[in-house]
């Protein structure tokens, strides 16, 4: 199960009902970083539609800011950790994910027994995290068919990838001047997301050395020590307006860690990518983009400056990458309903009908014996065993009959 399947939509806990009017109440338990950005986009849309949204936020939340002016209501609950403790814990988990074997799964780092115990204590009865997840009425998935491979899906799954994407806005004067100074060569946008900050000096210099050798100007989101090999064509920013830069006509390529949000902004604006996936669903995301012909994926830990340099040059100068990126962009834009409207519709659908039981597969209610069809397999094995037994008995009977007849004939 990749991370995108258990992200934003899974953690929207709908405690909803309709009052005498047409609006409902939504209770939200959010996660952090990019997942919160997706969730907040949905929540802002629900508020605009007249719904009352309440967010449960911890006192150590990083991006969920209850003090910021908002039409969303926040209920802050205290925790025993400090914000620094929380950040350090997240950093340790990220480092564990980043250095885990490539053939392992990110969720193997979680102690599921502790989660099962937690859910059992809260609900007051024996249960598991997976059982609770299985009770979700609807699963809005933050990808779309421009990203996914064709396959059958259950009726309570709906793709809403790119719901946060929007047309590019104007850049600040300082940033626009730098972009325009690139001339016909254009710019390269580089970001490893909001969760990655602990990069070794050696890796940073490898990357900076490669970027210094391209004619494009580079805008790099980086919050660390300035690399010794940083070229004059590269500027470092603690934060960049990523969507606005990707939508700029001078943008030629996007170097990304492979997060779903960044990938969809690149798809939305038709920008080819160079992927440096680190953990969780990122390697899988970049594998999808590589298959679609819009990206080259490199191993962050082992790549050389030459590898990165050649990858950037390839996606910029090989027209197939841009053509394929524009094809995905056209698919993303050509939908009967915008992803955000579709996400809001299904949330409201669940609210209007007090759930969506008619769309939920009965497999969630089966025990393990039924789920794996062990009863059916047992019955079929019994049938096969009966047939084999019957055929064997018949063969033995006729053999014995024939043997007796033959012995009797010899005596006569």
> Rounded mean pLDDT of 276-285?
88
> Rounded mean pLDDT of 323-352?
94
Q: What pLDDT, on the 0 to 100 scale, is given for residue 411?
A: 58
Confidence of residue 19 (pLDDT cuts 50, 70, 90): very low
Is the model's pLDDT at 188 over the cut of 50?
yes
Where do the structural domains in the chain lie, given as residue ranges? 3-79+111-163+338-362, 173-333, 373-404
Q: What pLDDT, on the 0 to 100 scale, is given for residue 190?
A: 96
Is the Cβ–Cβ distance between 237 and 221 less than 8 Å?
Answer: yes
State in words which class domain 173-333 has.
Answer: alpha beta
Higher pLDDT residue, 279 or 22? 279
**With the C-alpha atoms ordered 261, 262, 263, 268, is the resulting torsion angle positive or negative?**
positive
Distance from C-alpha of 241 to C-alpha of 178, rounded to nearest angstrom = 14
Is the model's pLDDT at 208 over the cut of 60?
yes
Higher pLDDT residue, 252 or 364? 252
Is the model's pLDDT at 228 over the cut of 70?
yes
Is the model's pLDDT at 350 over the cut of 50?
yes
pLDDT in tens, 1-16: 444 443 333 344 444 4
Confidence of residue 110 (pLDDT cuts 50, 70, 90): low
Q: What pLDDT, on the 0 to 100 scale, is given for residue 34?
A: 77
Is the model's pLDDT at 233 over the cut of 80?
yes
Q: What pLDDT, on the 0 to 100 scale, is given for residue 257?
A: 92
Q: What pLDDT, on the 0 to 100 scale, is given for residue 16?
A: 43
Q: What pLDDT, on the 0 to 100 scale, is given for residue 343?
A: 94
Task: Name which of 7-11, 152-156, 158-162, 316-320 the model is least confident about.
Answer: 7-11
Is the model's pLDDT at 20 over the cut of 50?
no
Is the model's pLDDT at 368 over the cut of 90?
no
Distance from C-alpha of 238 to C-alpha of 225, rounded to nearest angstrom = 11
Higher pLDDT residue, 194 or 322? 322
- Report the percent of the chain where pLDDT is more than 90: 52
Backbone angles phi, psi at 154, to 5 degrees: -75, 155
Q: What pLDDT, on the 0 to 100 scale, is given for residue 31?
A: 79
SS (H, E, C) the chain: CCHHHHCCHHHCCCCCCECCCCCEEEEECCCCCHHHHHHHHHHHHHHHCCCEEEEEEECCCCCCCCCCCCCCEEEEECCCCCHHHHHHHHHHHHHHHHCCCCCCCHHHHCCHHHHHHHHHHHHCCCCCHHHHHHCCCCEEECCCCCCCCCCCCCCCEEECCCCCCCCCCCCCHHHHHHHHCCHHHCEEEEECCCCCCCCCHHHHHHHHHHHCCCCCEEEEECCCCCCCCCCCCEEEECCCCHHHHHCCCCEEEEEECCCHHHHHHHHHHCCCEEECCCCCCHHHHHHHHHHCCCEEECCCCCCCHHHHHHHHHHHHHCHHHHHHHHHHHHHHHCCCCCHHHHHHHHHHHHHHCCCCHHHCCHHHHCCHHHHCCHHHHHHHHHHHHHHHHHHHHHHHHHHHHHHHHHHHHHHC
Which residues neighbour 147 within 8 Å (Cβ) at sequence distance 6 or greater? 161, 263, 264, 267, 285, 288, 289, 292, 328
Higher pLDDT residue, 334 or 12? 334
Which residues neighbour 238 within 8 Å (Cβ) at sequence distance 6 or greater? 221, 222, 223
Higher pLDDT residue, 151 or 362? 151
Name the range with the highest mean pLDDT among 19-33, 109-123, 290-304.
Answer: 290-304
Is the model's pLDDT at 59 over the cut of 70?
yes
- Which residue's structure tokens are 């390697």? 283
């Amino acid at each position: 199960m990749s991370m995108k399947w258990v992200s934003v939509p899974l953690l929207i806990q709908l405690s909803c009902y309709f009052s005498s009017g047409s609006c409902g109440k939504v209770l939200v338990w959010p996660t952090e970083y990019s997942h919160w950005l997706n969730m907040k986009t949905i929540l802002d849309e629900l508020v605009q539609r007249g719904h009352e949204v309440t967010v449960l936020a911890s006192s150590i939340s990083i991006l969920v800011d209850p003090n910021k002016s908002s039409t969303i209501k926040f209920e802050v609950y205290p925790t025993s950790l400090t914000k620094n403790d929380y950040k350090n814990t997240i950093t340790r988990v990220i480092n564990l994910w980043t250095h885990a074997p490539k053939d392992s799964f990110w969720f193997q780092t979680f102690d599921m027994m502790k989660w099962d115990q937690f859910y059992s204590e809260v609900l007051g009865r024996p249960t598991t995290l997976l059982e609770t997840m299985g009770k979700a009425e609807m699963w809005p998935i933050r990808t779309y068919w421009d990203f996914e491979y064709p396959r059958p899906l259950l009726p309570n799954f709906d793709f809403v990838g790119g719901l946060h994407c929007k047309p590019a806005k104007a850049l600040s004067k300082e940033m626009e001047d730098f972009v325009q100074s690139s001339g016909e060569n254009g710019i390269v946008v580089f970001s490893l997301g909001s969760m990655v900050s602990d990069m070794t000096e050696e890796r940073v210099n490898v990357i900076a050395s490669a970027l210094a050798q391209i004619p494009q100007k580079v805008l790099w989101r980086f919050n660390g020590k300035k690399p010794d090999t940083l070229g004059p064509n590269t500027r470092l920013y603690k934060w960049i307006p990523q969507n606005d830069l990707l939508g700029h006509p001078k943008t030629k390529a996007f170097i990304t860690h492979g997060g779903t949000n960044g990938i969809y902004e690149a798809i939305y604006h038709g920008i080819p990518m160079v992927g440096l996936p680190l953990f969780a669903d990122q390697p899988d995301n970049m594998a999808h983009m590589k298959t679609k012909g819009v990206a080259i994926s490199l191993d962050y830990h082992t790549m050389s400056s030459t590898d990165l340099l050649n990858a950037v040059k390839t996606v910029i100068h090989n027209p197939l990458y841009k053509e394929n990126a524009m094809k995905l962009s056209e698919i993303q834009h050509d939908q009967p309903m915008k992803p955000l409207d579709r996400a809001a519709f299904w949330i409201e659908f669940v609210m209007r009908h007090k759930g969506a039981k008619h769309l939920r597969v009965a497999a969630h209610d089966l025990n393990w014996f039924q789920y794996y069809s062990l009863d059916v397999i047992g019955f079929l094995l019994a049938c096969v065993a009966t047939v084999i037994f019957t055929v064997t008995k018949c063969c033995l009977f006729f053999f014995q009959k024939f043997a007796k007849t033959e012995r009797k004939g010899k005596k006569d």
